[in-house]
Amino acid sequence: MKPVANARTTDRIPLEKIAESKLPTPFAEFRITVYRAPDEKEHVVIALGDLSGEPPLVRVHSECLTGDALFSLRCDCGFQLHAALSRIAEAGRGAVLYLRQEGRGIGLGNKIRAYALQDTGRDTVEANHQLGFPADAREYGLAVDLLRQMNLPRIRLMTNNPRKLDALTADGIEVTERVPVESGLNPHNEAYLRAKANKLGHWLTLP
């Protein structure tokens, strides 16, 4: 998976590194670094070990307050975050880029509105459309900028999302391997994961 020739190299989003410390977790003792974007959003990198040399494992994770912090079973985000941190700890090196793009970029309140619509029978894509948003409003320039700042042009990307992989590759990041991160299937998120596979093309193996 080589980067495409017309990779964007100049119009980068300036991200300011504003703080760094140790972050002990049940998985390992990570380094946490906070970057501030021009819109004042604070994005986070959690990293472990020496990231130079062989392409490290990287997860580009979009914020999901309900799944990542509040144990929601409606999605697979929290499970994927755990799986990513656990695999990085096992490997002894790697990073999670935690992007503040809640609700696929539409924000928390709108995501909960979309959940309410899904409770009345819409799927995740139809719900976004009904609220006047695209199916996925995220952009990955931020992730590319962070990877450049971290001097990580070559990575092993943990994802099931073809759009994410394409966006990073198109912007000059070489993804040497796509590492699947399928976890957390349960009765509450099965229809959601099926819609992601069928409508958004995610690489998911579902029963």
Ligand X SMILES: Nc1nc2c(ncn2[C@@H]2O[C@H](COP(=O)(O)OP(=O)(O)OP(=O)(O)O)[C@@H](O)[C@H]2O)c(=O)[nH]1
Shortest distance (Å) from residue 65 CB to Zn ion? 8
- Under the binding rule (CB under 6 A), the answer on residue 128 touching ligand X is yes
d(CA 148, CA 105): 22
- Whether residue 169 is annotated as binding a ligand: the answer is no
111 binds, among Zn ion, ligand X, none (CB under 5 to 8 A by kind): ligand X
Answer yes or no: 11 catalytic. no
Shortest distance (Å) from residue 110 CB to ligand X? 7
- Under the binding rule (CB under 6 A), the answer on residue 43 touching ligand X is no
d(CA 181, CA 202): 11
d(CA 29, CA 47): 9
- Under the binding rule (CB under 5 A), the answer on residue 195 touching Zn ion is no
Element holding 125 (H helix, E strand): helix 124-130
- Under the binding rule (CB under 5 A), the answer on residue 67 touching Zn ion is yes
Closest Cα partner for 60 from 170, 151, 179? 179
Give 204's contacts (C-beta < 8 A, 6+ positions apart).
160, 182, 193, 196, 197
Answer yes or no: 123 catalytic. no
- Under the binding rule (CB under 6 A), the answer on residue 75 touching ligand X is yes
Token digits of residue 114 = 């979309």
- Under the binding rule (CB under 6 A), the answer on residue 101 touching ligand X is yes
- Under the binding rule (CB under 6 A), the answer on residue 113 touching ligand X is no
| CA distances for 1 relative to 23, 83, 108, 141, angstroms | 33, 24, 33, 18
Q: Give residues in contact with ligand X (CB under 6 A).
A: 61-64, 75, 77, 80, 101-104, 106, 111, 114, 124, 128, 159-161, 164, 196, 202
Question: Which parts are annotated binding residues for Zn(2+)?
Answer: 64, 75, 77
Q: Write out the catalytic residue numbers.
A: 136, 138
Question: Which parts are annotated binding residues?
Answer: 59-64, 75, 77, 80, 102-104, 124, 159, 164
